[in-house]
Structure 1
């Protein structure tokens, strides 16, 4: 496997292998795709394909419907232009017509059987271009699942769900009923405060609920427990500690209020930093914590208590000149409460763990539903084809797809994720692939870092390593050196 990238020559590019073409914006990527397309139709150029292909046998995968239509339009333009130029050449036998953007056609001439045959193939391709196999990744997966339903194990009458929000809402409500309705009061109150409702849970989980999800914990054993066990054991343990904190506070609440009341009277002479404990707010902080302590249903830790009424928080808030004199505001309750706070797991960690189980539960319900119903989402299409290709009978399915599409190109390959690459790698690049098969990955390595677009830099690097050869398009036709210098200077 070659790691070195060489300049691409569209006329000699080997077509019977796996290639990675690295092409930045403006370097003629779409033009190159069109050139490869012409070579495949005409079986022309060096290292050409073993036989001429028709438009239905050349698979081109892009990532949006708009890109798909744009690519079809540009390939049609190349076909039309080639027909006009070759027709004129056949009449005049003058190579002078192969100028500018038609130079590539002149390079094809020595490899063509004869011009009438060339024109016949090009016109047939132009007439059938509406049947061309140019799809989005999801469109390709859907087509394969339906055409090879027996091998892929999906419903023949597969229905594409563009919006599965109703299903998600149904399963979120079911999970809430199944896991939270029979909880003890203190746990139900915790769930109500932290999660609020099934609708809020769906908002927290986000739109990619069907994707794999994991969280990193200092104590991974917390995820190994069932949700019921976790709620009854860890959250109840937390609740008991918080209940003890509340008891300590309420026992001393009157004295604590008197303690800070004295600081309010002192105002400017108070030893406490006024930004953290102003005379206008300090007593309201005390009253807030007292109100929280009296509410036995609230088993979450009060933030004001943590930030204002632990001994370390108060020590840090002493003004510098008072600190030098050794002045402190102390009460046994502050140290006792601080020690107990150290034993408590934060409620946001508990919420993450509950959401993790919630997500797993909804995913399971979705998978079970879709396994027994024809409805599938966009993400399901990729997952199902990948599972079919890597499961029992996967080799046969891959062979059927290769027979249908002996040559494939992926445009914007830098936006390919691991799942998508596993699909095409299984079809076009595994030890069982033999015979006349070609696979081109075309993308911009500089854009492979954009995770928000679905790109996965590690998938790109893996594909680059596994390709038979790497080529690059080094000339930028969309810019010029003075423009680049000007932008850099600016």
Structure 2
């Protein structure tokens, strides 16, 4: 891979730029943009820039505008007398000079100033925005309805569709199969409307060409399925008769003295109680079809002749009885039936996919609806040859270059659109427009974001020798850069996929460690190791391949908090000033981990603010607010009033409750105040009542006395605002 200098990159053809975090991806993109304005004499509306979120689009638009202004300013600085030795980037100055010369040759406007004047027309879009505009402006070429309504989410249509198809597909299926599918072992196939929508429709989206396995529904031998179904019912009948005849004998054998391995047969009395209930239910059922709703538990096999033999101690006597043979017969006939039922369930799911694709398109067209995913697929279809040749030519003429930001998040549908219009082989690239893809290949492995790593690899093949990389990290300290290089450079495939490797980067010049910790190494990465032997000794048990969860949730979190406390107390400095808690960020994979980390830090007296995406309704303040609301609604109930007093907002601890007896003047006064808050709530809304309570009871001042007082107060205010919004919507 070639190291990239954005000032020297040849503009044309398909180019892939691989940019790790902090290596100046946006700076590179804006540099290429201003070069295109000047060197190719293009207008902002002739350069397509695509990114993937509204926020990223807004930021990118502003960064491009600032870059144009920066080049213009560099030219003006360079033109001033005595400024030749200034710190203005000479490359910016040279580009500004070239822009002025271009304007003089043409007798027109400087392309940079012209671009700034016409920047409102800049073609900077999200991928969906680009597709929507193209389909709307080229309705004839794309075949899109002129009055199609764009709807952000297809969830409501998908729910209705899933329910309708579920009922239609199951119509005519045999009752025993339906019992098995809905209540028995067939539940694992999740053939219910909502799971079908969630696990199939939401994943497939509008892409009707996404491959689905199996390629066609597996065939089902219906007569054989019926025969095996009857065999299962017959085996259950014999099993019930055997239990009624020999149940007491079986109990004696299992519960009495025997040679069974007690570690495998710890509590057979529980099994026997289940058997009693099943035998009673089957014998009194109106139809044997109910047996298909039974899912055999794991312990069932231990009651078969084979299971009893393997569960008997060496040289022991194996228990034998007709009932155990009937258990084995039930297991055997069900196993034979399960295989066929599985094929049938798979066939139904495959049929669901086929019919859902046809029916979804039909319903969208009837209602003239377009969803975001439809935009992509509709444009892809409109661009395919031979009918799409004209539209591809029009787009290629309108947008000479396409710059795709965050390309690692691209899926096959999106890349097919870009490739169809702007990809050109190297031998024809000179003098033409082109396609520039910028992204981080390491992030292409995150499929939950919609990324497709194989799409990225396909684009790399298309780029051929025009794959470049940004080699300088402008964001991180040198120590951290070296540590990350050492960590990921140890193995050949650190990301588990051929073609996605790790290319080390260098820290920017002068990016030395800006912090120091007395008595600690200056390494950029510090790892807390939990040795298995030490953990075992600490817990008083043998530790296997992984530590127990409770150790990670408690002891490791405590160790982490102590390490942070030691750092804060060590005299460590950042750029000459002491390290404070706000300099430290804690990242976790789950909200539950962040909550435990926060508790561990608070126990050490370290203030912290939770910036995760945990639901505020799961917070401590939500429970306290519920107590407060109950007291508002029933201000005459002393118990509810004391519950409200126990919240941090009122701050009465256990020792203080002695003063708040049912007849105490203080509690009676509080009851009157809460009755007034309830009246305000009833007449003026919850928001006014909450504010009246907060001011009158001194809640803000009381909460801010806690070390995490800002977070507590924020949660209270957030919850109150949410309740106020809900109230206003009703």
Structure 1 length normalisation: TM-score?
Answer: 0.85
Identify which of 126, 132, 139 aligns with 2:122. Answer: 132
The yes-or-no answer on 1:459 pairing with 2:455 is: yes
How much does 1:107 deviate? Answer: 4.6
Partner residue, 1:254: 244
Return the structure number with greater relative CO, CA threshold 8 A, min gap 6: 1
Partner residue, 1:487: 524
Alignment of 1:358-397 (within 5 A): 358-397=352-391
Query: Which secondary structure state, in structure 2, belongs to the residue aligned with residue 448 of structure 1?
Result: helix
| Structure 1 residues 312 and 143, CA gap change in structure 2 (3 angstroms) | farther
Structure 2 length normalisation: TM-score?
Answer: 0.58
Alignment of 1:35-184 (within 5 A): 35-43=31-39, 51-92=40-81, 94-99=83-88, 102-108=89-95, 111-114=98-101, 120-184=110-174
CA contact (8 A) 2:49 2:402 kept: yes
Unaligned 5+ residue runs, structure 1?
44-50
Unaligned 5+ residue runs, structure 2?
484-522, 528-730
Partner residue, 2:25: 29
CA contact (8 A) 1:98 1:106 kept: no
Identify which of 389, 401, 411 aligns with 1:407. Answer: 401
Identify which of 325, 331, 337 aligns with 2:330. Answer: 337
Whole-Å separation in 2 of the counterparts to 1:86 and 1:172: 62
Question: Residue by residue, what CA displacement relative to the aligned partner does 1:95-137 show, whole Å, maximum 9, x if unpaired?
Answer: 33343xx343035356444397698322332233232111111
Whole-Å separation in 2 of the counterparts to 1:255 and 1:272: 27
How much does 1:425 deviate? Answer: 0.9
How much does 1:160 deviate? Answer: 1.6
How much does 1:88 deviate? Answer: 2.8
CA contact (8 A) 2:408 2:439 kept: yes
How much does 1:157 deviate? Answer: 2.6
| Structure 1 residues 162 and 465, CA gap change in structure 2 (3 angstroms) | same
CA contact (8 A) 1:242 1:301 kept: no
How much does 1:450 deviate? Answer: 1.5
CA contact (8 A) 1:59 1:134 kept: yes
Question: Residue by residue, what CA displacement relative to the aligned partner does 1:339-382 show, whole Å, maximum 9, x if unpaired?
Answer: 32341225566544433322332222111222444211111111
Question: Residue by residue, what CA displacement relative to the aligned partner does 1:218-248 show, whole Å, maximum 9, x if unpaired?
Answer: xx87x144xxxx5955754552232132123
Alignment of 1:191-340 (within 5 A): 191-193=181-183, 194=187, 197-205=192-200, 207-210=202-205, 211=207, 212=210, 214-215=212-213, 223-225=217-219, 230=220, 232=222, 236-263=226-253, 265-266=255-256, 271=260, 273=262, 276=265, 278-291=267-280, 293-294=282-283, 295=285, 296-298=288-290, 299-300=292-293, 302-304=295-297, 306-318=300-312, 320=313, 323-331=314-322, 332-340=325-333
Question: Comparing 26-35 with 203-212, which one deviates more in the overlay?
Answer: 203-212
Identify which of 4, 19, 22 aligns with 2:15. Answer: 19
| Structure 1 residues 314 and 473, CA gap change in structure 2 (3 angstroms) | same
CA contact (8 A) 2:15 2:437 kept: yes
Partner residue, 2:5: 9
Question: Comparing 417-426 with 432-441, which one deviates more in the overlay?
Answer: 432-441
How much does 1:291 deviate? Answer: 4.4
Question: Comparing 396-405 with 102-111, which one deviates more in the overlay?
Answer: 102-111
Query: Which secondary structure state, in structure 1, belongs to the residue aligned with residue 473 of structure 2?
Result: coil
Question: Comparing 438-447 with 275-284, which one deviates more in the overlay?
Answer: 275-284
Question: Comparing 206-215 with 404-413, which one deviates more in the overlay?
Answer: 206-215
Partner residue, 1:46: none
CA contact (8 A) 1:79 1:122 kept: yes
Whole-Å separation in 2 of the counterparts to 1:290 and 1:106: 90
| Structure 1 residues 454 and 256, CA gap change in structure 2 (3 angstroms) | farther
Question: Residue by residue, what CA displacement relative to the aligned partner does 1:69-117 show, whole Å, maximum 9, x if unpaired?
Answer: 1111111211222222222323436333343xx3430353564443976
How much does 1:290 deviate? Answer: 2.0
Partner residue, 1:48: none
Question: Comparing 403-412 with 448-457, which one deviates more in the overlay?
Answer: 448-457
Whole-Å separation in 1 of the counterparts to 2:414 and 2:127: 8
CA contact (8 A) 2:24 2:473 kept: yes
Whole-Å separation in 1 of the counterparts to 2:382 and 2:280: 59
Query: Which secondary structure state, in structure 1, belongs to the residue aligned with residue 318 of structure 2?
Result: coil
Question: Residue by residue, what CA displacement relative to the aligned partner does 1:384-406 show, whole Å, maximum 9, x if unpaired?
Answer: 11111124411111111101101
| Structure 1 residues 335 and 214, CA gap change in structure 2 (3 angstroms) | same
Question: Residue by residue, what CA displacement relative to the aligned partner does 1:442-478 show, whole Å, maximum 9, x if unpaired?
Answer: 1112222222222222221221111151111101101
CA contact (8 A) 2:259 2:316 kept: no
Whole-Å separation in 2 of the counterparts to 1:237 and 1:433: 67
CA contact (8 A) 2:71 2:95 kept: no
